[in-house]
């Protein structure tokens, strides 16, 4: 929000137009498995679930199962990284064509619960995912779902991968291939840096 306000102030003072793109939960990987997501340490739900499915962790922790949602777990809007990339291209094109500045939500407009993520990973990987239930994290709202209607209208943008299964399948495929090598390199680099 602060960055958006700074952009608005700069746009008022200088000949500047901008597009602030508000991601919801970025997920998935390149559908051709050329690039993907890997952090050390990993903090995102789908990669953590895939680690658990691959037997590389003791399990996946659900932070709170007593929210006022259908299954008691948080609900989030997961947006495929390829759809985010498409939105960036559309935003640049819109600005080059003279579009007004805007701040736009990027999401599918549909939410999935943490338990639905677990079920999706189990289905895609055909692996068991050990699940632990922990306490709620402070500040986690029960539901966060994007209203991306302005992005769809102003950018003529439409997400292509709106189903959770595609997002998990692409992340799993990348992880099974190039992602595994990349992660080993990152872990080794981190260990060397810490020693």
Q: Is pLDDT above 80 for 179?
A: no
pLDDT digits (tens, 9 = 90+) for 89-116: 999 999 999 999 999 999 999 999 999 9
Report which DSSP code applies to 32: T
* Alpha-carbon span 37 to 171, nearest angstrom: 8
Residue 35 pLDDT: 81
Q: Taking residues 122-142, report their average pLDDT.
A: 95
CA proximity to 53, closest of 130, 165, 133: 130
Q: Which domains does the chain have, with CATH numbers?
A: 21-28+37-187 (3.90.25.10)
Work out the pLDDT band at 58, boundaries 50, 70, 90: very high
pLDDT digits (tens, 9 = 90+) for 22-39: 999 999 998 888 888 777
Q: Is pLDDT above 70 for 189?
A: no
Residue 185 pLDDT: 53
Question: Is pTM beyond 0.75 here?
Answer: yes
Q: What are phi and psi of 182, to 5 degrees?
A: -60, -45
Decide: helix, strand or coil at residue 104. Answer: strand
pLDDT digits (tens, 9 = 90+) for 142-162: 999 999 999 999 999 999 999
Omega within 30 of 0 (cis) for the link into 41: yes
Q: Is pLDDT above 60 for 182?
A: no
Residue 184 pLDDT: 54
Residue 69 pLDDT: 97
Percent of the chain scoring above 90 in pLDDT:
79
């Amino acid at each position: 929000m602060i960055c958006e306000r700074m952009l608005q102030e700069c746009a008022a003072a200088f000949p500047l137009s901008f597009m602030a793109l508000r991601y919801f939960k970025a997920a998935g990987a390149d559908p051709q498995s050329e690039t993907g997501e890997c952090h050390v340490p990993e903090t995102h739900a789908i990669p953590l679930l895939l680690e658990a499915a691959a037997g590389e962790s003791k399990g996946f922790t659900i932070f709170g199962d007593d929210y006022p949602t259908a299954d008691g777990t948080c609900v989030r809007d997961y947006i495929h990284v390829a759809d985010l990339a498409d939105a960036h291209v559309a935003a640049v094109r819109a600005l080059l064509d003279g579009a007004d500045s805007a701040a736009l939500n990027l999401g599918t407009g549909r939410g999935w619960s943490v338990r639905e993520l677990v079920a999706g990973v189990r289905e895609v990987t055909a692996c068991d995912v050990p699940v632990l239930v922990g306490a709620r994290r402070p500040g986690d709202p029960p539901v966060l779902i994007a209203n991306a209607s302005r992005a769809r209208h102003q950018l003529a943008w439409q997400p292509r991968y709106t189903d959770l299964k595609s997002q998990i399948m692409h992340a799993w495929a990348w992880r099974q291939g190039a992602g595994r090598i990349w992660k080993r390199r990152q872990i080794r680099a981190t260990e060397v840096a810490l020693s």
